Structure 1
Amino acid sequence: MDLIKQESTEFKISVLGESAKYDKSAKTSFRPGIFREAEAEYALDFGVRNKDSYKNIRESDFLSNIYKTVTSSGKCVSLFKVLQTNKCERNCLYCVNRKSRNTVRTSFKSDELARIFMNFYGKRYVSGIFLSSGIYESPVKTMDEMIKTILILRNTYKFKGYVHLKILPGVEDAQIEEAIKIADRVSINLESPEENLLKRIAPEKRFKEEIFRAINSIKNFDDKGLKIKSGFTTQFISGVLEETDFDLLKRTVMLYDEFKLRRAYFSGFSPVTYTPFENKAACPLMREHRLYQADFLMRLYGFKFAELPFDNGNLSLEKDPKEIWAEQHPELFPLELNNASYDELVRIPGIG
């Protein structure tokens, strides 16, 4: 349902902040027995809504759209995570904003969103922005609006803080170049590790022609000296089809090695009501957690992809991958701590 009447600022923030929660800017927090803690803390019901549901919104309600993340320098940043619009021309089978889903739709004008963010920034609620969007009318038109929002922040308000800007599939190279210039970090969601799997969950997204073309463009700009301050990231959905942990991590390693990917995020599938996948089982949070553990082993602990302990293509849900690797290599243990190198020490289960 598209709302025709004038909508309040609070209404738009609530809808477009709520709709942005599935884009990852940080790893989901995990403790045994606490499920989707990092997201549940902020989550609202994603059922069919109408405008009356939002009539009593207070500022304290939409401050829940602020998320914590850590920059490449280790600094903790409070991000205002929001969409330019949740109107979308595409019909991804899993998505809360899919075209055919009966839900409240709204949009921000660029100057309006910039003004709202600067109000939050002035009150010290936030120190950065994560801007994504549905694709309304065309990827190029929507990306233009997103870029315009950030340009207003940078040029009109002289905002020098952290900006994470989503690159939409199907945009032009010139837009990617501009995004790199004005943002600290950019990202484009791959969603699936293989083209045939992406077609089954997002039939209108083109794996090579849209997503990998954009990733190639990012690399080409980097090769020419146009660097992204905090790099580029991507996101995968785990547990939506039969993709294995092996598939997801193999693709991740390829992106690290060939395209200078800074981070991969793994979003465990969570069914959304009124979508074709609403009756699919959710991905166990432990699986998402294991993917991050394996990713960290490769990025930070010197492990090679070939060393990861897969069982029929997946990581164990019962034991962490470093512990299993250590059990498979008894010849390396015990270690004499006083003589061990750093690389040897960080491979000990429980260290790190």
Structure 2
Amino acid sequence: MTTLGEIAVVAGAYLRGCDAATVIVGVAPLHRAEPGYLSFLTHRRYRACLETTRATAVILSPEDAASCSTPAVVAANPHVAYARAAALFAPVAESRRGVHCTAWVSPDSHIAADTWIGPHCVVEAGAVIEAGVVIGPGCVIGEYAIIGANSRLVAQVTICHRVRLGQRVLIHPGAVIGSDGFGLALDSKGRWLKVPQLGSVLIGDEVEIGANTTIDRGALEDTVIEDGVKLDNQIQIAHNVHIGAHSALAGCVGIAGSARIGRHCMLGGGVGIAGHLEIVDHVQITGMSLVTQSITESGVYSSGLAVEPNRIWNKISARLRRLDEIFRRLAALEKKSNRDGTL
């Protein structure tokens, strides 16, 4: 529990029509909030819910506060304010230290005294685990890997040899960091020859990596994820990719080898990035887009077609198949018109 006054301080907001001493027991969406709960409005489609919500107070923008009769926590950026307020109600993981009896830790590793290594973990020789690290059940830490201070590996995370994690990194279950990149050479007999992947993966500070996301080690140089990057679930990042600081990638993004993503970029779900491309800072790519050439100017980019009723899509598809024919006919007409002097 906390008070509205404390919430306002944490959220960088101010109160309107509220008693700062009012106690709040939790957070809830507008349509489900009960008295004693804090709610929020971050999208205009939910404005109608302001009239019927039973929340004790609502986090919203100054513009929305003007039409809200409910006590308000007013913030310039309600989404950020909500994130900060909700953190006050997030469960705190139990603080533990030591090594579980079922874990295997190499005597040649270097483990800080105030870390926790959970059940069935493996820590290989030369690994360094710094202060305050929490390693959940079933994790594997490879040889000479470094886990930065106050990082947390939730469960079943694999950190391969020589991978380096910065401080306060959060990795969710099933992620694999530092497996071999997809490096193959085709010999004269048509057989694939594996190219050794001699680089590693360098993860910056305060990076979050979602469940079952995979980040391949570099072929020669490192794959690099800079500070503050946020990766959703089931993302594939190939060898030698470089992602700039504070970029955010939604689920099922796939980035081919040696692509470079700038800082403060946002990639929607299912975006595909071809290899060896460069995307500048402050680029937003909408979901399911395919990027096949470098992007040299900041802005919002899209590709693909949105869903349509099947009968309409069938017509669109049929017309798309005729585009080349139509283009050829148009070019022939233009050529004839130019020859006849009618244009």
Larger of the two Rg values belongs to structure: 2
TM-score of the superposition, structure 2-length normalised? 0.22
Question: Which structure has greater strand proportion?
Answer: 2
Question: Which structure has greater helix proportion?
Answer: 1
TM-score of the superposition, structure 1-length normalised? 0.21
Higher relative contact order (CA 8 A, sep 6+): 1
